[in-house]
């Protein structure tokens, strides 16, 4: 029986539709008999279906942040012009996930390993079968969404006209693998995690807290904390604000990660660690990235501590015609949450330029 977790409801995340694409065979050998993807769409698909944008989600993320921070009338991601589909990644708590599946053969600890390539294949199938979309004006995603964006561009070159990977790499690197492992170990070391068989996500509160605390160190920068930038961030929950950095950690990072499902985070973490477009080209990263035909803007965040520009730029240089559009946020990787108008303005400018390029 699925576990109840209100964080993942439409009330918690904003409206979405659960769309089944049926039986789905995973690259690692597992099968999801009834794969349901949680999709939130904005705008209207035009007649020739040429105005579709696909947005895959990041680790622990959902469509909510895209809706709240990135999509809007007059913005680059303009629902008045485009049909924008934010597709929640498999295992993120909204799409088929360990805690929400009604199939006992894949519930909780039995959930099969999922790959970035699985997500992209499932998204392609869904867009084609459900919406009749054969080409995408743009794929854009942040962090693990960037991993999926790169995978889209490599795997479906004829379908992706433009690609904008933000704050992520096409091939995961060892440091990032080790970092993600510390996040996962923080959860699995909690005895209440119990090998994945807990009764409620809140049972694993201690592990989720440690997981969140590591995020607070790597997702947010020394300058974010030093300048007390958090004073400018509105509370997540009314009345639950912060006067000290410890309170911000408690009522922001720990609060939000504490609402999530441990097995969902672990499923995504395993996937994140192994993102690698070179799996499509027998390990040859240059061949994989060299095959991209989408017009690509590579968009790292300058202050990012685990997807730093120095890891993104060498990939950009392997993609024909790709351009670097550096983003800036004092928050580092968590700049993705759009704390600063200057950051969202940079994103909008880059995506507007990219969408204006004829391809």
Q: Which of 143, 267, 291, 329 is catalytic?
A: 143
Are 351 and 76 in contact, with CB atoms under 8 Å apart?
yes
CA-wise closest residue to 260 among 102, 143, 18, 91: 91
Per CB under 8 A, which of residues 214..243 are in contact with a second copy?
A: 214, 216-218, 220-226
Tell me the C-alpha distance between 165 and 98, whole Å: 27
* Least distance in angstroms from the C-beta of 52 to a second copy: 35
Query: 67 or 190, CB closer to a second copy?
Result: 190
| Nearer Cβ to a second copy (132/283) | 283
Which member of 63, 304, 311, 329 is catalytic?
304
In the complex, the smallest distance separating the C-beta of residue 306 from a second copy, rounded to whole angstroms, is 7
Rule CB under 8 A: say whether 202 interacts with a second copy.
Answer: no
Contacts 24+ apart (CB under 8 A), 201-208: 201/3, 201/5, 201/99, 201/259, 201/260, 201/261, 201/262, 202/258, 204/262, 205/258, 207/262, 208/254, 208/257, 208/258, 208/260, 208/262, 208/265
Question: Considering the rule CB under 8 A, would residue 186 count as an interface residue with a second copy?
Answer: yes
- Separation between Cα atoms, residue 260 and residue 248, nearest integer Å: 18
Residue 256 in the binding site for a second copy (CB under 8 A): no
322: left (phi over 0), alpha (psi -120 to 50) or beta: beta
In degrees to the nearest 10, what's the CA dihedral of 306, 204, 112, 36? Answer: -90
**299 secondary structure, DSSP code:** B
Give the interface segment with a second copy, choosing from 23-31, 158-166, 185-193, 339-347 (CB under 8 A). 185-193
| Span of 152-160, 170-178, 293-301, 334-342 interacting with a second copy by CB under 8 A | 170-178
Q: Which of 23, 128, 175, 328 binds a second copy (CB under 8 A)?
A: 175
Candidates 18, 192, 205, 206; binder of a second copy (CB under 8 A) is: 206
Instruction: Give which of 229, 219, 66, 89 is closest to 140, Cα–Cα.
Output: 66
Asked if 305 is part of the footprint of a second copy (rule: CB under 8 A), the reply reads yes
Task: Assess whether 211 carries a catalytic annotation.
Answer: no
User: Should residue 279 be labelled a site residue for a second copy when binding is judged by CB under 8 A?
Assistant: no
The stretch among 64-72, 208-216, 254-262, 269-277 that binds a second copy (CB under 8 A) is 208-216
311 touches a second copy by CB under 8 A? yes
CB of 6 to a second copy, least distance (A): 27
130 is a catalytic site residue: no
**Alpha-carbon separation of residue 148 from 49, 100, 124, 198, 271 (angstroms):** 22, 23, 11, 30, 11
CB of residue 23 vs a second copy: minimum separation in angstroms?
A: 35
C-beta separation of 230 from 242 below 8 A: yes
Q: 56 or 207: whose CB is closer to a second copy?
A: 207
Q: Decide if 333 is catalytic.
A: yes
Q: In terms of CB distance, is 9 or 244 closer to a second copy?
A: 244
Encode burial over 26-50: b for 16+ CB neighbours within 10 A, e otherwise.
Answer: beeebebeebbbbbbbbbebeeebe
Which residues sit at the interface with a second copy, rule CB under 8 A? Answer: 173-179, 181-182, 185-186, 189-191, 206-207, 210, 213-214, 216-218, 220-226, 245, 249, 305-306, 308, 310-311
Query: Which residues are part of the catalytic machinery?
Result: 143, 304, 333
């Amino acid at each position: 029986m699925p576990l109840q977790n209100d964080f993942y409801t439409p009330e918690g995340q904003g409206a979405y539709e659960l769309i089944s694409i049926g039986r789905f065979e995973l690259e690692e050998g597992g099968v999801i008999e009834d794969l349901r993807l949680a999709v939130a769409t904005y705008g209207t698909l035009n007649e020739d279906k040429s105005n579709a944008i696909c947005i895959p989600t990041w680790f622990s993320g959902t469509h909510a942040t895209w809706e709240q921070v990135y999509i809007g009338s007059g913005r680059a991601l303009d629902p008045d012009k485009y049909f924008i589909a934010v597709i929640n990644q498999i295992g993120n708590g909204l799409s088929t996930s360990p805690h929400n599946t009604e199939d006992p053969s894949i519930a909780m600890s039995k959930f099969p390993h999922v790959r970035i390539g699985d997500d992209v294949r499932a998204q392609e199938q869904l867009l084609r079968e459900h919406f009749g979309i054969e080409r995408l004006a743009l794929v854009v995603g942040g962090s693990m969404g960037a991993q999926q964006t790169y995978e889209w561009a490599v795997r479906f070159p004829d379908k992706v006209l433009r690609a904008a990977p933000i704050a992520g790499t096409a091939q995961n690197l060892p440091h990032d693998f080790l970092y993600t492992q510390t996040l996962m170990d923080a959860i699995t070391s909690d005895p209440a995690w119990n090998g994945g068989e807990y009764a409620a996500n809140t049972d694993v509160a201690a592990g989720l807290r440690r997981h969140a605390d590591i995020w607070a160190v790597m997702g947010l920068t020394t300058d974010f904390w030093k300048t007390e930038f958090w004073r400018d961030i509105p509370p997540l929950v009314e009345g639950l604000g912060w006067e000290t950095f410890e309170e911000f950690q408690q009522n922001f990072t720990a609060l939000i990660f504490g609402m999530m499902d441990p097995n969902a985070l672990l499923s995504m973490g395993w996937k994140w660690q192994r993102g690698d477009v070179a799996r499509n080209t027998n390990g040859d990263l240059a061949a994989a990235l060299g095959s991209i035909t989408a017009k690509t803007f590579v968009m790292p965040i300058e202050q990012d501590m685990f997807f730093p520009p120095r890891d993104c730029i060498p990939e950009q240089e392997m993609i024909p015609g790709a351009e670097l559009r550096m983003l800036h946020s004092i928050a580092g990787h968590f700049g993705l949450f759009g704390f600063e108008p200057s950051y969202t303005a940079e994103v909008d400018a880059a995506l507007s330029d990219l969408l204006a390029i004829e391809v």
